[in-house]
Structure 1
Amino acid sequence: MKNIFLICLTLMAVLFTFSACHSEKMETGATDVTGQLSLASMKMEVDLKVDTVYPQSRAGVDVSNFLLTIKNSQGEQVEQYTYSEMPEIISLPVGTYTVVASSAEAATNGFDVPFYTGSTEQFTIKENELTEVFALTCRLANVMISVEYDEELRKLMGEDVVTNVKIGDNSLDIPSSETRKAYLIAPASAGSMDITLKGTIDGESVTEVKRVDNVQAGQYNIIKYVLNSVDDGTNSNVGGNLNIAINIDSSMTSSDETVGVNPGEEPGIDDFPTDGGEEPGDGDGDSDGDGEGGITSDINITGKKLGDSSFDIDQTQTITGATTLIVGIEAPAGIQNLKVKITSAGNDDFNGIGEGLGEFDLAHSDSMNENAQAMIPVLGLPIDDAVLNQPNLDFNISKFTSMLAGFEGTHTFKITVTDNQGKTESKSLVINVPKK
Structure 2
Amino acid sequence: MKLTNIIALSTAAILCLASCEMKNELTGSLVSKEDTGAVELEVSVKQPVSQTRAEEVATNDFPVTIQGTSTGVTDVLKEYATADEVPSSITVPVGEYTISSHSPGTLEKQMSAPYYTGSTDITVTKDVASQVDVVCRMANSRIQMIYGEDFKEAFSEWTITIDDGSEMALSYTQANLTPDAIYWHFDGNVTAITVNIKAKTVEGNTVTESRTFRKSDAAENYEEVGDAFTGGDALEIAMGTVESSTGDLTGITITTNITFENESESVEIPTTDPDEPGEGGGDPVEPGEGAVTLNLPADVTYSISAGDAPASADAYIASEAGLDKIIVTITAGNDAFQAILVDLKMDGQSFLAENGGVDLIDNADFGSLVATVGSKAPTDGTKEYTFPIGAFFTFLNTTGATDDGKSHEFHITVTDKNGETATGVFKVTINE
Question: What is the TM-score with the length of structure 1 in the denominator?
Answer: 0.45
Question: What is the TM-score with the length of structure 2 in the denominator?
Answer: 0.45
Q: Which has the larger radius of gyration?
A: 2
